Chain A
């Protein structure tokens, strides 16, 4: 039986070369990879540990962008007060992944690359119009988070591609986000449905822009343009919130499984949409 090789490169180009080997797997926090290795009794030919690459481990906030390194853990995101101030919804999504122990290891890039339809950090990244920075054998490219996801466990990535960061626009005055999920218990479960809302209110409390993304109710997390459009131009009155929720229900293409039925998921995604919109609006400090 041959052993797997372990690499812990400090440079991105080294990692790209190592990942190009047959059977190599990238590891960030390892909280999905180690479980997969165990349950499938599968041995990657090589494990490329990305945590020693400094640019993947940083959060950089500039005048016009917020760059979250793909290897930043949930716990680190939650401790970054400047990031929480910019994107409370992105951080609350990432912080819902697993337990305290998982939070110390699981990364935002890993949650994205695992490709779960119910990944808690993903809807808020889509609602924020997040862009993935990708480096691979064929160079660098950028792909919107919403376009990266092709299906459960399937992403628009080539062998050797590494998502180095997710870049979000710096929020403008009056802009805020929120993420809500429903689970049958209070902690440590996967979302039956999850909704992120990112919106901007003007000084009169009128919604200027809104993006709504839903998770756990389709093969991938989805942007729901009609739900955002239902909020724009309103003060998030009951009629607008109801319309946004109905748009989310209409966009949902859920399955029935042990966590919930199709009917239940369609219903709950509307409830979560309404509530997340209200929380995001309150966070702007401009809600009427």
Chain B
């Protein structure tokens, strides 16, 4: 039986691919499109390492089928920095040393960016709840939370 032919938009660029019905979007991104910035952690929706945005919704790419992306707008970590340089979140993660091994970082940056677009001035509690589905086994989270809050301040022009 034929594989599914999918036309979608990834980071603003139209792409086409073939995928099996049961193939996850995560597998498509990494194995078919070579976008390996999105990481596989648990592959069961618990760890958030594969966080991407699909039609404006933060999702785990491991829990979405590649075939479902037909006609959607998919945003991954590869689309976060621009030709002008790093996204403010990426810069703040460096400044705050909000990463150690880095495997969770792409997912957390994508998730935090989605939060700040929805809620530009979150409280610490809101950041912690929003990111509760992104597991980090190195940092203890505090530096991550501080980096996100500091980014929010910077974007609002009241840089600390």
Interfacial residues, chain A to chain B (CB-CB below 8 A): 2-6, 8, 27, 29-31, 34-35, 37-39, 43-44, 46-47, 49, 51, 73, 75, 98-102, 104-105, 186-188
Contacts and interface: CB of A to CB of B under 8 A. Distances in A.
B60 A101 contact: yes
Nearest to A185: B132
A39 B44 contact: yes
Given A3-B3, A4-B22, A75-B57, A188 B133 contact: yes
A38 B21 contact: no
Interface string B50-75: 01001001111011110110100000
A273 B50 CA distance: 38
A6 B51 contact: no
B63 A102 contact: yes
A47 B60 contact: no
A101 B44 contact: no
Contacts of A3: 1-3, 20-21
B76 interface: no
Given A35-B63, A98-B133, A47 B57 contact: no
19 contacts: A2-B1, A5-B21, A6-B4, A8-B68, A27-B65, A34-B45, A46-B21, A47-B21, A49-B65, A99-B45, A99-B48, A100-B58, A100-B114, A101-B45, A101-B48, A101-B63, A104-B54, A105-B63, A187-B132
Interface string B91-128: 00000000000000000000100110000000000000
B24 interface: yes
B132 A34 contact: no
Contact of B132 (A29, A47, A99): A99
A6 B21 contact: yes
Contacts of A38: 43-44
A49 B68 contact: yes
Given A100-B130, A100-B133, 13 more contacts: A6-B65, A27-B65, A29-B63, A30-B65, A35-B44, A46-B21, A99-B45, A100-B58, A100-B114, A101-B133, A102-B60, A105-B57, A105-B63
Contact of A35 (B1, B45, B111, B132): B45
B123 to A, nearest CB: 15
A34 B24 contact: yes
Contacts of B133: 98-102, 188
A47 B1 contact: no
A135 B115 CA distance: 37
B130 to A, nearest CB: 5
A98 B62 CA distance: 14
B64 A47 contact: no
A181 to B, nearest CB: 15
Closest 8 CB pairs of A and B: A99-B133, A104-B57, A187-B132, A4-B21, A6-B21, A3-B1, A101-B60, A104-B59
A73 B111 CA distance: 18
Contact of A6 (B24, B46, B58, B67): B67
A44 B4 CA distance: 15
